[in-house]
């Protein structure tokens, strides 16, 4: 560990390096150096709290960080401008490292239109309705009563965690602030905490009810570089501090999702009043997902032999099933690539010939590439295509992983 003078010197050296950057200055190295210096500084603060000089060092540190963010941001901007073929812009008077936050997604902008687009997950839907729709519609029920307004969703990938959060926002017609924690953690030093704080402040002051959704919440304690534990701790502290204030907030729901719950700090985990496991879909849910995916395809779900499909799709996630059905629906488009015989309709469209095409029809032999634009029609997808595509899907979640999630769910 460095002593007071060494830390002071190191900050001064870093300040000199940053304020007069050489073209090959490695910003990640400087960030890492700052991270480790900060750890030493934290230790020094604990060991010698009465050292009056420390305040000066902390001030210097803040200035170095601000300077670095400014210079690194400027450098990044110049590189982008050069890549786009522009000259180097004049320096800006303001730090380009922005603490701006994204606009909310309104219910009209969501691709999910409500719970009808989500198969199964019945219990979770009820919980979400109780948390979002009830306080909106029947606020008198919540007078003089503590609100349940934080929810953690965990489970294997592709089980609809993100989709159901979009679903409740659409169902309740409220705004959604969707935040990727992994992205936040890549921000400049000091910016991550600020962004988190800004989002919480934003929803607290928001007109009407909104949902603050932290996706990949487990990334909150992970950041590039080995020696920036101090940094992660600060972000965690800010997050927990904001979550504590949530008790007094009545116009928002904070939801977080993760597929690595074991990586989540227990203190963060404790901040969520409700924790819900989103497992792989059961037999009935898998059927419901297939039905949803076949909607508008022209294939009746009853045409699928569910008793054999039930076994075949066991262990697949919602996302695996979606991809499988999509591959089946795409089969007619794929077949077009190798088709040579086309039936030309009276209105000038080219349709692939099949066994029902009669010799009297206008048939031509051509490659797809030679057919005029916007004149090709594909055949309708067939049940056999869907079954075949689903039989080829490999589960993305292994049996071992399923057991790991189940064990975790029982223990926490």
Ligand X SMILES: Nc1ncnc2c1ncn2[C@@H]1O[C@H](COP(=O)(O)OP(=O)(O)OP(=O)(O)O)[C@@H](O)[C@H]1O
**Is residue 180 close enough to count as binding ligand X by CB under 6 A?**
no
- Of ligand X, Mg ion, none, which one does residue 69 interact with (CB within 5 to 8 Å by kind)? none
**Is residue 324 close enough to count as binding ligand X by CB under 6 A?**
no
Of 21-60, binders to Mg ion (CB under 5 A) are none
Which one of 23-31, 60-68, 157-165, 172-180 is the stretch in contact with Mg ion (CB under 5 A)? Answer: 157-165
Q: How far apart are CA 297 and CA 381, in angstroms?
A: 7
**Is residue 396 close enough to count as binding Mg ion by CB under 5 A?**
no
Q: Is 84 helix (H, G, I), strand (E, B) or coil?
A: coil
CB of 61 to ligand X, least distance (A): 36
**Is residue 162 close enough to count as binding Mg ion by CB under 5 A?**
yes
CB of 57 to ligand X, least distance (A): 42
* β-strands 341-344, 363-365 pairing: antiparallel
Q: What size, in residues, is the chain? A: 412
What share of residues in the chain are helix, strand, coil (percent, to 5)? Answer: 55, 10, 35
User: 73 vs 281, which CB is nearer to ligand X?
Assistant: 281
- Of ligand X, Mg ion, none, which one does residue 343 interact with (CB within 5 to 8 Å by kind)? none
User: 210 vs 317, which CB is nearer to ligand X?
Assistant: 317
Nearest-CB residue for Mg ion: 162
CB of 408 to ligand X, least distance (A): 14
Exposure string over 344-367, b if 16+ CB within 10 A, otherwise e: beeeeebbbbeeeeeeeeeeeeee
Sheet holding 363-365, edge to edge: 350-352, 341-344, 363-365
Task: Please identify which residue in 71, 289, 304, 325 interacts with ligand X, judged by CB under 6 A.
Answer: 289
Task: Please identify which residue in 318, 324, 352, 381 interacts with ligand X, judged by CB under 6 A.
Answer: 318
Cα pseudo-dihedral 405, 125, 323, 283, rounded to 10: 70
User: 36 vs 162, which CB is nearer to Mg ion?
Assistant: 162
Neighbours of 253 (CB within 10 A): 27
Which one of 117-125, 180-188, 353-361, 401-409 is the stretch in contact with ligand X (CB under 6 A)? Answer: 117-125
**Is residue 73 close enough to count as binding ligand X by CB under 6 A?**
no
CB of 298 to ligand X, least distance (A): 20
Could you tell me which residues come within 8 angstroms of residue 21 by beta carbon, excluding any fewer than 6 positions away?
71, 75
Burial class (CB in 10 A: 0-12, 13-18, 19+), 168: buried
User: 120 vs 135, which CB is nearer to ligand X?
Assistant: 120
């Amino acid at each position: 560990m460095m002593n007071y003078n060494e830390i002071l010197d190191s900050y001064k050296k870093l300040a000199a390096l940053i304020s007069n950057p050489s073209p090959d200055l490695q910003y990640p190295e400087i960030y890492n150096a700052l991270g480790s210096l900060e750890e030493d500084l934290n230790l020094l603060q604990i060991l010698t709290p009465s050292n009056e000089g420390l305040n000066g060092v902390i001030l210097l540190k803040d200035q170095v960080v601000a300077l670095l963010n400014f210079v690194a941001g400027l450098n990044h901007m110049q590189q982008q401008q050069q890549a786009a073929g522009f000259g180097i812009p004049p320096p800006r008077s303001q730090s380009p490292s922005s603490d701006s936050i994204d606009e909310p997604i309104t219910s009209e902008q969501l691709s999910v239109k409500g719970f009808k687009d989500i198969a199964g997950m019945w219990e979770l839907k009820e919980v979400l309705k109780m948390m979002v729709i009830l306080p909106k519609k029947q606020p008198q029920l919540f007078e003089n009563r503590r609100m349940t307004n934080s929810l953690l969703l965990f489970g294997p990938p592709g089980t609809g965690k993100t989709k159901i959060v979009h679903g409740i926002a659409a169902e309740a017609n409220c705004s959604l602030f969707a935040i990727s924690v992994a992205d936040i953690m890549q921000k400049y030093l000091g910016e991550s905490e600020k962004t988190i704080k800004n989002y919480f402040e934003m929803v607290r002051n928001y007109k009407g009810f909104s949902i603050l959704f932290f996706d990949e919440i487990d990334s909150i304690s992970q950041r590039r570089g080995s020696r920036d534990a101090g940094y992660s701790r600060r972000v965690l502290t800010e997050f927990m501090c904001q979550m504590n204030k949530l008790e007094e907030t009545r116009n928002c729901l904070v939801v977080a999702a993760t597929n690595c719950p074991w990586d989540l700090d227990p203190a963060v985990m404790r901040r969520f009043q409700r924790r819900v496991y989103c497992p792989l879909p059961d037999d009935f849910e898998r059927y419901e997902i297939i039905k949803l995916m076949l909607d508008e395809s022209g294939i009746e779900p009853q045409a699928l032999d569910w008793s054999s499909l039930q076994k075949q799709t066991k262990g697949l996630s919602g996302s695996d099933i979606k991809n499988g059905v999509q591959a089946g629906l795409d089969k007619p488009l794929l077949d077009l690539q190798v088709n040579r015989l086309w039936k030309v309709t009276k209105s000038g469209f080219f349709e692939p010939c099949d066994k029902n095409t009669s010799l009297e029809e206008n048939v031509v032999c051509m490659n797809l590439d030679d057919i005029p634009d916007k004149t090709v029609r594909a055949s309708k997808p067939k049940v056999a295509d869907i079954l075949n595509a689903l039989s080829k899907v490999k589960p993305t979640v292994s049996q071992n992983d399923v057991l790991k999630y189940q064990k975790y769910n029982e223990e926490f």
